Chains A and B, each alone.
Chain A
Amino acid sequence: MSKVEKPISQPNELFFREIRNDFSIFQKLKLVYLDNAATSQKPNCVLQAEQEFYERYNANPFRGLYELGEHATTQYEQARQTVQKFLHAKYPEEIIFTRNATEGLNLVAYSFSNYFFNDGDEIVVSIMEHHSNLLPWQQAAKRTGALLRYLECDQQGKITEEALKNLLTDRTKLVAITQISNVLGCKNDLKKIAQICHERGIVVVADGAQSVPHIPVDVTDLDIDFLVFSGHKMLAPMGIGVLYGKKRFLEQMPPFLFGGEMIDSVSRNGAVFAPIPHKFEAGTVNAAGAVALARAIQYINHIGFEKIQERETALTVLAMEEMKRIPGVHILGAEDPNDHHGIISFTLEGVHPHDIAFILNADHIAVRAGHHCAQPLLQHLGVSSSTRISIAFYNTEQEIQTFVKSLRQIRRKMGYGESDIL
């Protein structure tokens, strides 16, 4: 049992110092890990949950006509219920386990669009989408003859209601949009977007990859039609993710992958597909991953999003204040740290992001550099590439200071003098 299960009564600083001990990687490596938007680190309880599944419950779920097989099925289905409650979905069968957010988006883009889109229909995606919420729709448009249209944001990442309303036509069938941008960290008002879209009979697909790990997400309150996220960005192992979809859509949609355990009966001429969610979970599932994800959710719930947000915001405020004091640093997106949700992308004048990441790496600091799988957004912002730090609750003030100190030295290391005009 990990330390976090003790009742929380200590002051925050002490509490989070203890949290740090739940992550073995920080004891084993000299590492300032600031690439949490790419993937999070994993607490010991999650690693143990995965191992425990294989040690105590391992059988192929839904197949074994023996006790162990039933245990495996129960573990897997309990994990589904944990996710359902976490997202406030109405029914457990609205939770489909996938490999990751990308797979969930591909599932919807194939299964929904092939069935519901006609020539000349319109799909709207925002300009700030990760490629995983863009490429599946680009391809869907090509397959179905639908038109892909872009919802633009301003330099701070803000998308106005007006911009959305102006873009929607009577041919718009679907809007695919992220809840939190993986580059700017800004949050889109999904509830409002869903309301505007639903008034016009338009389906809303939300990418929760950057939001679900960091803020409470209530799909029923937001009233979005689909939501995806990846387990590995929220303390769970790689290879487990979730697609939430409203029951009435999932029931109508044809399967995405075909094979074992997604059918009721098969004949020479065809098959009767299983009801949801199993219709969308062909082949042997990642039960251990699902169980570990459920454990990650319990861990997050135990800390509580209030504490997580408070901690991540405090670290973001500190990082942005310190970074703004460094000559040549330009932070992308909003001025207000509260609009960043732990994600700070920046440029440093005269130094390419890959050189920045490389120099930081020599001080054992891990950051992301490049286009962050969001090339259209960077083009829209007029930046060819940037460096990104992304913060999690287990990061420390000391780590932010180490990063800032290292960042401050980079221009000098690259040959610029103190007096060089910026």
Chain B
Amino acid sequence: MENRTFYNEVLIDHNLHPAHKHDLKHANLILEGINPSCGDDIWLKLQVENGQVVDGAFQGDGCAISQASADIMLDLIIGKTKEEALELADIFLRMIQGKTTEKELEKLEEAAALQDISHMPARVKCAVLGWHTMKEMLKNESN
């Protein structure tokens, strides 16, 4: 529960200087994700063409964990196929439950910085907000 290690550099940097927190004019998938317990409220915007995430961004308010997690996620999934993005979401959500292998964690790159959130039930919803929203968008789009 020691926050000095939890609010690590990766998380702080993505919260203070998010690369993907802006509008996205060419987005063709837009979905709002809300975490009522925290009041986190993000709009996730993706541009998906021929099964590939060409570009993505997010807007909204929330705690550092929700904001950093969404920004890290976009870093990871931009340029990936829908299937790859969904696989990453699956690994991330399992990481939060403490059910991943070392090899899988490597795929998450910086998102692995949020691994310790699994010990903090009150903050899990913040960390998974962006990922859940993305999963819902891409799954619906596939159907």
Contact = CB atoms under 8 A, between A and B. Distances in A.
A350 B7 CA distance: 15
Contacts of B13: 415
Given A352-B62, A355-B65, A371-B39, A362 B15 contact: no
Interface in A372-399: 384-385
Nearest to B37: A370
A415 B63 contact: no
B138 interface: no
Of the candidates A351, A358, A359, A413, the one having the most CB atoms from chain B within 10 angstroms of its own CB is A358
Given A352-B64, A415-B16, A384 B3 contact: no
Interface in B106-143: 120, 122-123, 126
A361 interface: yes
A352 B7 CA distance: 13
A198 interface: no
B1 A354 contact: no
B3 A358 contact: yes
B7 A413 contact: yes
B38 A358 contact: no
A26 B13 CA distance: 37
A414 interface: yes
Contacts, number: 50
Contacts of B23: none
A355 B39 contact: no
Contact of A414 (B12, B38, B61, B126): B12
A361 B2 CA distance: 9
Contacts of A385: 39
A359 B1 CA distance: 10
A377 B5 CA distance: 36
A355 B16 contact: no
B4 A413 contact: yes
Given A384-B39, A384-B61, A414-B7, A361 B1 contact: yes
Contact of B3 (A354, A359, A370): A359
B69 to A, nearest CB: 13
A415 B11 CA distance: 10
Contacts of B123: 354, 358
B126 A354 contact: yes
Contacts of A414: 7, 12, 15-16, 64
Contacts of B2: 362
Interface in A196-255: none
A350 B122 CA distance: 21
Given A362-B1, A371-B39, A354 B63 contact: yes
Contact of A370 (B4, B7, B38, B65): B38
A359 B4 CA distance: 8
Contact of B38 (A351, A354, A415): A354
Contact of B64 (A355, A361, A362, A384): A355
Contacts of A353: 63
B39 A359 contact: no
A364 B64 CA distance: 20
Nearest to A415: B12
B3 A362 contact: yes
Contacts of A413: 3-4, 7
Nearest to A350: B16
- Of B3, B15, B61, B120, the most chain A CB neighbours within 10 A belong to B3
Nearest to A409: B4
Given A370-B38, A371-B39, A415-B16, A359 B7 contact: yes
Interface string B36-66: 0111000000000000000000000111110
Contacts of A384: 39, 61
A124 to B, nearest CB: 28
Interface of A: 350-355, 358-359, 361-362, 370-371, 384-385, 413-416
Given A350-B16, A358-B3, 10 more contacts: A352-B62, A352-B63, A353-B63, A354-B38, A354-B126, A355-B65, A359-B7, A361-B3, A370-B38, A414-B12
Interface of B: 1-4, 7, 12-13, 15-16, 37-39, 61-65, 120, 122-123, 126
In order of increasing CB-CB distance, the 6 nearest A-B pairs are A415-B12, A352-B63, A354-B63, A362-B3, A355-B64, A415-B16
21 contacts: A352-B62, A352-B63, A354-B63, A354-B123, A355-B7, A355-B63, A355-B65, A358-B3, A358-B122, A359-B3, A362-B1, A362-B4, A370-B38, A370-B39, A384-B61, A413-B3, A414-B7, A414-B12, A414-B16, A415-B13, A416-B16
